[in-house]
Chains A and B, each alone.
Chain A
Amino acid sequence: MFNKTNASEHPLNRRNFLKMSAAAAAAGICPILQPGVLWSAEGGILKIRDYSDIKSLDPSFFLSVPEENINACIYNKLIAFKPGRKWEWELQAAKSIQQVDPTHITFELREGIMHSGGFGEMTAEDVKYSFERVADPANKSPNIDDWGPLEKVEVTGKYTGTIVFKSPFQPVWWTTLPYTTGNIISMKATEKVGGKYSNDPPSVNGPYMLKEWKPNQRTVLTRNPVWKGPKSYFDEIRIFPIDDEKTAEIALESGDVDFTRLSIPSLKNYTKTPPKGAKTEKFPSLYWLWMGMNQDNEVLKDKRIRKAIQMALDRKTIVEAAYFGFAEVANGNVPAGLLGHREKTTLPDKPDYDGAKKLLTEAGYPNGLDLTLDVLNKSTFNTIAQVIQAVLSPAGVRVQINIHDSGAFWVLGSEKDSDRWKSIQLIVGRFSGVPDPSYYTRWHLSSQVGIWNWERFSNDEYDKLDKAALGETDQEKRAAMYVRMQELLEESGCVTFITNEVIPVAYRDDIKPAFRPDGTPLLRNFSKI
């Protein structure tokens, strides 16, 4: 049992928690409704580039990060990620929050958070409504897993309630409460529009409100007049959906946007010659990139072949070539800084071609073998595929690269869609992540075979560990479980971890940005120098 009253940081352990509890004594440092917290001379317009247009501002139907970037400005959560380089959260709409036992979390809301449009004050009923509607299968939310085994939210007072789980669910502190399905919306307003909405929120409660959404052009946020909390710096935030990173970089240099994410090749160029009037920074990302091998494929079902390929795969060269030396080789899928990060690998530092050839010969391929490698049609992945082709060649593995667009690629291993999963051999996969290890390991559960587990890896120990780790409150034990799961994945030969990538960003030098540790902008915290 532990108690969280002000802030938390990752990795969580008892010692860290005690520190946080001590910090909680200073809970008044950043109270959400303390109007005295003002920037020195706020105002103006912040212009942001995001990589796609918004699809739904209903947190239950969230699909991509650009939506959460806006949701984080127009709604409040009980707890929110704290800007900085360390994974921490701080209280936002909650005055206090406590895990009273492994399946119960009690909370108390701050008073006076108002919903716009005359929908009154935020109450525990709104919290119950917001969370339960995501978890209710009848509502068909694609984010239903965020709430895991949520049973209900009990309202115990106007501002107080208890979140009740059927079984312990630790990811709630990192993937749910401070993320998009942790956003609290107005029950009255949402029910008034039929219980569901898209890009036209009927009411908001954060420092900003939606002023305008012009599809394909921009989304404009303006100050929410009923917001009584700490005032954000900018009067207006304009978010431009620009898919092409080069265009975004030009827009930054010409002053048309104040902030954008960069491409890796541009980071290389900008490191030599910084963009005019702008600064660059890089962050460790939450993505994970790996090379997968389909163990149900006729050729790859022999583990010796998979192990031979792992031995020959020069991961360092791949990362150097594709990320220009800015990213690190990963030994697991859980990124550094998160609980469950795996420091060491059993794979050789340098490719062992002799060992690989020996294994291939034992498996009946003394003259090597031909394999296909399926990748997404993005320049980084194409580079990775070409390097894999080159580095496997000395071991006698001849690779043919198949490039697919996103619509075609993401269904390759899906049994529901076609029989192509049978012919998949090697793939370069890349998944996004959230700051909890469970999100990284869940895709290779036996239940995911034919859905997202294209390697068709299946292991009882792995499945049992996943279930146990979700409810393990001892953070050291939990971390060890996830490390073991990554070992099992690698040991099977199905997955070879390559990198967790980096996120480079650039912003105008008069902007004082605020980021999560993975470089995701926290727009309501942006200000000017």
Chain B
Amino acid sequence: MWIYLAKRTSLAVVIVIIAISLLYSMILMVPGDPTAVILGPRSTPEMREALRADMGLDRPAIVQVGSFILRVFKGDMGTDVFTNRPVSQIVFEQLPYTMILIFAGISWAIVLGIPLGCYSALNRNSFIDKLTGVFSVGTIAIPAFVIALYGLLIFAVHLQWLPAIGAGEEGDLVDQIKHLILPAFAIGLGWVGYLSRLVRASMLEVLGENHIRTARAFGLPEKLIVFRYALKLAILPTVALMGVGVGYLLSSSVFAEIVFARPGIGKLIYESVLTRNYPIIMGSVLITTIIFVLCTMMADIINAILDPRMRENL
């Protein structure tokens, strides 16, 4: 297991370095002058030239990428060109909002999606199974931002049960939870469908396997068979999916944070791309890439713990 962990961690580091290099190169290739956006239309070419030099944009792309990675290893992600604040400070200010949103979104999806999937598998072709099927496909097909907009119109505008924008008052947990409900609902709803479909399919496959038939032949209680022997195996693809799912949720959070005018890393990246604020883009993308790689790594490790055969596959 330790060898597996070491290999998996090394692979994660390599993935992060390659991903960051690729992203940096892609960002540099996007047309547009960040200094024109930063200094505004009234700036002179000389001012823009000076800022370009300050930002290191006059150096070859490869030098910029290398210098960024070196600085990151030293713990320096650069400085925001607008406010002169450290990028790490700005990114870590926003990160908790996104992580809480993702956690809330995925949590309620797990709480609802996995039992629904189990129930559907155990009651195949029942009314609830069919209803779950329709519901799942429907929620998977609807984009998160559409759910967000309708959620806002119904619960914030018409019923006025929940607030429309922001993340709530600092120190007021109830207010923060109120502000979290709609965005978490919007980004998690599709995942309820995904998880229920996936768990149902896995469960049906596992329930048809020999060891389950043997367990039943031995007269073990159905609950024990389902939760101890079937679900443990059926959950494996779900765990792997959750790792990748964090990446999707990070994307969904961009929509949610814009639609709900909620702070977070997604909104930060969106605004930074519009203003070509390269230091912030790179800092934010670095952190989200690390989170994504960590999540997939954790999913792999959990899978390796649950199924020792996986350790051989790296």
Contact = CB atoms under 8 A, between A and B. Distances in A.
Contacts of A199: 83
Contacts of B90: 215
5 contacts: A216-B271, A218-B166, A410-B33, A416-B49, A418-B31
Contacts of A417: 33, 36
B55 to A, nearest CB: 14
By Cβ-Cβ distance, the 10 closest A-B pairs, closest first, are A407-B32, A254-B164, A254-B156, A408-B31, A55-B82, A142-B43, A408-B32, A242-B261, A216-B263, A411-B33
Nearest to B38: A63
A240 B261 contact: yes
Interface string A253-296: 11111000000000000000000100000000000000000000
B153 interface: yes
Given A56-B82, A251-B165, A407 B30 contact: yes
B37 A142 contact: no
B262 to A, nearest CB: 8
Interface string B82-106: 1111000010011000000000000
B165 A405 contact: no
A431 B40 CA distance: 12
Nearest to B264: A216
Given A246-B149, A408-B31, 6 more contacts: A217-B166, A254-B164, A256-B165, A407-B275, A407-B276, A452-B41
A243 interface: yes
Interface of B: 30-34, 36-45, 47-50, 82-85, 90, 93-94, 149, 152-153, 156-157, 160, 163-167, 258-261, 263-264, 267-268, 271, 273-276
Contacts of B152: 247, 250, 254
A256 B168 CA distance: 11
A411 B164 contact: no
Interface of A: 52-53, 55-56, 63-64, 140, 142-145, 198-199, 214-218, 240-244, 246-248, 250-251, 253-257, 276, 404-411, 414, 416-418, 420, 431, 451-452
A255 B50 CA distance: 45
Contacts of A409: 32
A418 B31 CA distance: 9
A204 to B, nearest CB: 18
Contacts of B271: 52-53, 216, 243
Contacts of B275: 407
| Centre residue among A142, A241, A255 by max chain B CB count within 10 A | A142
B39 A251 contact: no
A140 B51 CA distance: 10
A140 B261 CA distance: 33
Contact of A198 (B39, B50, B83): B83
Nearest to B81: A55
B164 A251 contact: yes
Contact of B45 (A216, A408, A416): A416
A155 B217 CA distance: 101
A147 to B, nearest CB: 12
A418 B264 CA distance: 34
Given A53-B271, A217-B167, A407-B37, A243 B258 contact: yes
